[in-house]
Amino acid sequence: MTEPVNGSATAPVLEVRGLTKAFGALVASRDISLDLRPGEIHALIGPNGAGKSTLIAQIAGELAPDRGEIWLGGRQVTGWSTAARARAGLARTFQISSLAMEMTVLQNAVLGALGARGKVMRFFAPVLGDRALVERAMAALEAVGLQDLAALRTAELSHGQRRQLEVAVALTLAPRAFLMDEPMAGLGASGSRRLMSFLDGLRERAPILLIEHDMDAVFALADRISVLVNGEVIATGSAARIRGDARVQEAYLGEEAEAMPGEEACAGAGGEGRGEAAP
């Protein structure tokens, strides 16, 4: 197993313990335990319907688990609201870009900086006159390469640029941990490559729990990979170990065992990627 460079003796930033969630007879999360350690990218993969979205929703605080605990930065946050978890340092990006479309690119980033600082109940001074907020927002936009589009309405951004903005907003939060739900979805080859190299460096700032269909990206980036099948984590380990795991081969890479994982991923990502949420 690849240990993160600086993570030899550090406690996990984000930890999921024995998480269980059922919708009627369908068990979407079955006693899931996983952790995210400082400096790593931990990828979560699994076929459609494996329960990835349900798991993310529980980690982000949109869905309450039936059993189990979620710990963030040494505190149990299981009962906390989404907003409280964000304030505690969990920055998520959405599978489908979730931005304030009528605002400018800069305003979206400033909103993130504002959320990170708190003190929202300010009624008089213009928010865009607040240099500290704007600088923080611009720094995040520069990090993803959107600084030249700061004045553009978000609705006018291309799909790929929206994905970049999602990441930029997450950056403004200066989080303890990133929760990224398919950040590559819908990106072209060059866009994916750029984002990959960006995420590669990002793990130094805060670890990333990465849900991704793009297997090339996952196997290239991830320090550890967890495989979710039918609501259960069937394996966790380094890329090499996951590739060689017989259960993973059988359950996930299955019928195309001889093919490269990346090709299978393309088929998966292009198809129905949103179906594994709550029924």
Partner 1 sequence: MGVRRETMVNTLLLAGLLAVPLWALWADEPFTITLATRVAILALAGVGLNLALGTGGLVSFGHAVFFGIGGYAMGILAFHAQNYTPLIESLSIPGTKSMPVIWAVAVIASALVALAIGALSLRTSGVYFIMITLAFGQMFYYFTISWPAYGGEDGMSIYLRNSFPGVNTLVPFNFFAISFAALLAVLVLVGRLMRAPFGLALSAARQNEARLRAVGIDPYRLRLTAFTLSGAITGLAGALYADLNRFVSPSMFSWQTSGEIMIFVILGGVGRLFGPVAGAALFILLEHFLGGISEYWHIFLGVLLLGVVLFARGGLIGLLAGREVAHD
**Helix, strand, or coil (residue 137):** helix
Part of the chain binding partner 1 (CB under 8 A), chosen from 11-19, 110-118, 224-232, 235-243: 110-118
Size of the site for partner 1 (CB under 8 A): 42
115 binds partner 1 per the rule CB under 8 A: yes
127 binds partner 1 per the rule CB under 8 A: yes
Q: Which of 91, 140, 195, 210 binds partner 1 (CB under 8 A)?
A: 91
278 binds partner 1 per the rule CB under 8 A: no
Are 242 and 248 a contacting pair, CB within 8 Å? yes
Question: What minimum distance in Å lies between the beta carbon of 63 and partner 1?
Answer: 13
5 binds partner 1 per the rule CB under 8 A: no
Question: What minimum distance in Å lies between the beta carbon of 264 and partner 1?
Answer: 30
174 binds partner 1 per the rule CB under 8 A: no
132 binds partner 1 per the rule CB under 8 A: no
Our CA dihedral for 14, 18, 19, 22, rounded to 10 degrees, sits at 170
Closer by beta carbon to partner 1, 9 or else 151: 151
Separation between Cα atoms, residue 236 and residue 212, nearest integer Å:
15
Tokens of 219: 């196997």
119 binds partner 1 per the rule CB under 8 A: yes
128 binds partner 1 per the rule CB under 8 A: yes
Closer by beta carbon to partner 1, 64 or else 101: 101
Question: What minimum distance in Å lies between the beta carbon of 90 and partner 1?
Answer: 9
72 binds partner 1 per the rule CB under 8 A: no
Closer by beta carbon to partner 1, 120 or else 189: 120
Which residues contact residue 205 at a Cβ distance below 8 angstroms, ignoring those fewer than 6 apart? none
Using CB under 8 A as the criterion, which residues of the chain lie in contact with partner 1 when the complex forms? 60, 81-84, 86-87, 91-92, 94, 98-104, 107-108, 110-112, 114-116, 118-128, 130, 151, 153, 169, 172-173
